Structure 1
């Protein structure tokens, strides 16, 4: 039925395709005829346009005495324009608005040509009129005047004819000059009218000739030929594209028709083959039913026997010969009951004959100690087909599987089984315990319900690729408990195959490894700290042999790990600590389990550096030392920074001299030493004269350099005894000490203190002398009259400054102030 319907539809489509192909061919022929007619119109327009140009040239020669041919040409052009501009047989409205605009431009140009031609005809007629009358008037002028025929009249007539036959600017100028000459002679009253007529015709002739030239220029500038060529080219391109379009459609229709014919032919051929195959299938069905191991029976919608196989007959034993076509299920049952074949087990007979066929579905029966599964289904005609499958082996297998299932149920590992699409079909109690999902909640779900989002899609793709190919996949998952807690599990996933080797399910056996992963994570963090720490780390065994070092150890000491593994850490010994230092360190390490402190070690390059070292001991459960761990950091930069801070706290940043705090400490120490040794000491203040002027005029940078130069000179004068200090911007105190007062006096009175040479500082030459004062009041007998902070000496300095440059003032305080000023 379906095949006949398909043939009908194919025939209709074939007929429609043939009709459409014929229609397109007719349209193509019609379009070809219209194209020919329109091209003839354009060709005719081109011919008439050329004819009009030739007529204009003939008019310019002033030969024709009538314009009948010109009128005929113009009339034909007008008719041709009307045809071209029409929408029926013309060109308008067949392509687009732009093409219509080109047609309008051509028609307008052609119309203008016709109008200019009419004006040229008028001007040519007037010009020809002057040519007819002027020669006679000039002859009359020769007759009536004294001019001879060979002079002025001849020249005038020649110039007139040359200008009209060969128009040019030179001929026009020549004729105009003769016209001027014609006005010069004195004319009589009788000839005055003749001269006026000649001048009138000459002037009119020139005017008409100029008008004709102007019209010719306008005529030649009209692009009618070019516009006509554009219209023709555009129409030819349009027709060509349309022809190609028609050709393409025609080819498609031809191919479609041929395809339908081929398809229809092929369908008829397939129908023939299908009928043969149907007959063959019926035969094969009978053969197949006889060859299968299952019993098969088919009853029609009236419950009458239609088809059965040998295995079904064997179920009835010796009564199998009663199976005939058309026998009903009820007749078979009654016959067997009458013979008593199944009297002892009539319920089994009912299951065998009635229930298995009248109730659509599946049930199990027991015949001769064999288990059969009866599957019945309703066919399209209303009958019932039943298949009896021997499931004895399956029943035995189920008993064995039950024992195996108990083992799975009690397994300490989490187990789940899915179908080939990943839908969960079974989980054991351990899975329920691990995930928090009940069996009812998880069955039918996909294992992705456990996904935490922490495992990449690439890992899942690799897993499916492995198990789909029949392999076993092993790996780790970070999954999510029902309550949201994350846990790690190690999974082994593989396919479950049937007898044919086809994968029917997937089995996953999982182990909870959360605690193990936590331990591994702690170890990983410890390793990361070990490798990335800025402090050097050394691990030694109980015998103090190096087992491991981190990268910072190599960075600080210069030794690579392979150079120190198995060696004693004493290879870093710098020699700056004695044996007692190390003995004390080991004693504390053994007693307290740790030691920390500053130590000086030597790197691979030989450089000695300070480090802060922390030692600790690792013991086993029994208290035995198994490892030592040393963590140290290079504190060279810290030591340098501390030294810099100490220096900045005690010294002036510009001159490098001790500041007030350090000077006060040194002054107190010097006084104490002088008292203890019985030496003489003095406090000396030096002022740089005019230092403020140098500082203000040349800048603070030059002033600072001058201070540094002065300090260097003063230090040389004092022979290394004094302790100079900066107290103010202009003042430098020194404290020379010596066993005898004469030594101190020699320093104070040295001329080099007051003859500071000029120096060049930052490209500026500066010179400054010094003034000084001294207070010799620091030993026992003078101690009562001196303020060690320098107040008395400052008063003496003021006196020396007032005395002028290169002066000093000495102050003794026993019995009062006494000053002596020298230059």
Structure 2
């Protein structure tokens, strides 16, 4: 009787195995079974059902002995694969989704589960993976192809991240703009591009805007792979599903570096006096304001008002072209006598205002005296004895800029009254 019971059990087990095999073979979901060898080349496929072959384009006999890694490519998220390997190594179940590649090189979105299979001794002998092509949930095959081609055709940079800020996709424009390859950037965070020039408040505003479901637009100063910086006009927009939940963020940016360089060059040129090459008065007033603000924190600030002696007579006797030449020579001479941190402003006509950063009255007096001597020692064409007169003043505590300039101007007139070619101080 015992033998009869065992025979019945064997028949039942055989029927169960046949039923299970038929179920897997006819399953709508793709199924593969691999060995448990997690060596350098990864696990090997031992079995693939028809649904898996249909999904990937491979024949079952082509897959046997190969690693599932053959399905991965440039758009497969490295972060997901790293998570997968971690789970397998620790005999844990895995669930994830990513872009995979068919035999013909086309992409599809796959969602899959992997479970370890334990033998009678408790050791993992195999892994079983149940997969499903979920491309229809993302975009139809035709639309996806058109979208990918369009994204890679545009010269603008396109980047897509998940809600955790992990980069899932970049286009060729991104690669060209940043110098990072697909393998460099996929699975990383956009913070790789940070130049360090933006304050924390800038990024706080960015996330506050995105978390409200709105688009954030700004000019970013980013950093390429080679550490060079570039300006980009960038918009970041939340991507939402059918019920309004944010699933991803898409960033589109245009490289503005060349335009910004042109604008900066134009602004620099427009700040300078066309004749003498020193700051025009409006640009100089901005520098005065900067130095004044620094002085509120204890930095000494001095300035000097300078006038070319008898300049009207030079114009009247020798003509304006000669006068213009004298202005140019005097301005160049003064600049050559000062420090790089000092500024020369053409204040009006033949008057110049000199700004001295972090400089007290005595030090400023020494710099201006050096200018006076240098101007007086130049051999001018046609004219002899061109000189300058100057007044120097240092900002007092609680004094405003207008008062400081007025005191320097009074010192200038004192130099003129005392015979010119002289530097006078206003203490």
Report the TM-score, using the length of structure 1 for normalisation: 0.28
Please say which structure displays the higher CA radius of gyration: 1
1 or 2, which has the higher helix percentage?
1
Higher relative contact order (CA 8 A, sep 6+): 2
1 or 2, which has the higher strand percentage?
2
Report the TM-score, using the length of structure 2 for normalisation: 0.48
